[in-house]
Amino acid sequence: MSSPTAAVATSYLHADEPTRTHRHGWWWKSLLAGALLWLVTIVVTIATRNANLVPTLILLGSFLVPFSVVLFAAERISTAFPVTSLMLAFFVGGVLGVLGASVLEAPLASGGLGGFLLVGLIEELVKGVLVVVIGRHLVPKTARQGALLGATVGAGFAAFESAGYAFNAALGRGGIDLLGLLQTEAVRSVLTPLGHVLWTAVLGAALFAASRDGRRYRFAVGVVLAYLLVAVLHGLWDAMGGISTIIAIVATGNAVPAFEYDTLRPGTQGEVGGISNGVYVLGLGVVSVLGGLTLRGIVRHHRPRDRAMSEQHAA
């Protein structure tokens, strides 16, 4: 459940800072053990047809990858930040983030690129505020520490959001749609590190990098630019399904029949579907790479300053 983009991003979260020295690889051990439990639960659910196991499937599938992100951060974040606070950032931050975003998004009309961009602006703002509040006592405030805390808050948001999507996918007309639930969880698990986790990591890194002497938050143009960037990436990510469909329709010469008569030329449906899927995957890849390179750039640019502050704080 990793990717080259995620590897590029996380490789820059290993600077010389006062972090916990004992790393036992709990994140990947938990990921493997959790994946095995998820598969066993699937088999038992299918074999017994026990609907009471569906909530277990939803929780395991939705929280497995996000919680592994928290364990990854727990072994790398500053010793000045208790692990319990990191867990609170995950659970409380995730719940408050989903609730806050839902309240703010309720009046919005859904659909359209503009609507998706507004959703991106709202959700990234909510997560950014949570990072600021939760990380106010974390010292020194370095880009790397901000990225780890941001990734944790983003993971919490992704976990609870994925649980909601999985629940909706399971609500089939004739009963529980187990296949739809599993497909939703599998796709969102793979994409989680490249979505909310990465975007909030970028914003957290920018917020902490702009801090004054690594202790107090400071308003900076870089923070605003990082926020706008992740909001746009978020909006493009959500809108990619519609964008890829439009590109496929135009590329196959179906613009007129599709937009005027709501139909496709005979024999082109398969071609439209193939192009749409390809563009969709490519689009998500581009968005992920842009996010990963941005995180890498922020952490790398501030590494000398962050290392100096960390040494000063440890002295």
Is the four-CA dihedral 162, 164, 170, 176 of positive or negative sign? positive
| C-alpha to C-alpha distance for 153 and 194, rounded to whole angstroms | 14
Q: Which amino acid is located at 225 in the chain?
A: L
| C-alpha to C-alpha distance for 183 and 180, rounded to whole angstroms | 5
Number of alpha carbons in the 13 Å side-chain half-sphere of residue 304? 1
Looking up tokens 């957290």 gives 204
Predicted local confidence at residue 22, as pLDDT: 58
User: For the residues of 256-273, what is the DSSP string, one character each?
Assistant: HHHHHHS---TT-HHHHH
pLDDT by residue, tens only, the chain of 315 residues: 445 455 445 444 544 455 554 567 899 999 999 999 999 999 999 999 999 999 999 999 999 999 999 999 888 887 777 888 889 899 998 999 899 888 888 777 666 788 899 999 999 999 999 999 999 988 889 999 999 999 999 999 999 999 999 999 998 777 899 999 999 999 999 999 999 999 999 999 999 999 988 889 999 999 999 999 999 999 999 999 999 999 999 999 988 888 888 889 888 889 999 999 999 999 999 999 999 999 999 999 999 988 888 777 766
* CB neighbours of residue 250 within 10 Å: 13
- R_g of the chain computed on alpha carbons: 21
Predicted local confidence at residue 109, as pLDDT: 62
**Helix, strand or coil, per DSSP, at residue 144:** helix
Predicted local confidence at residue 66, as pLDDT: 96
| C-alpha to C-alpha distance for 308 and 152, rounded to whole angstroms | 25
Predicted local confidence at residue 8, as pLDDT: 45
Domain span at residue 145 reads: 4-314
Structurally, the chain folds into a number of domains equal to: 1
H helices present in 112-268, as ranges: 112-134, 143-170, 178-191, 196-209, 221-251, 255-261
Burial of 106 from C-beta contacts in 10 A (0-12 / 13-18 / 19+): exposed
Predicted local confidence at residue 315, as pLDDT: 64
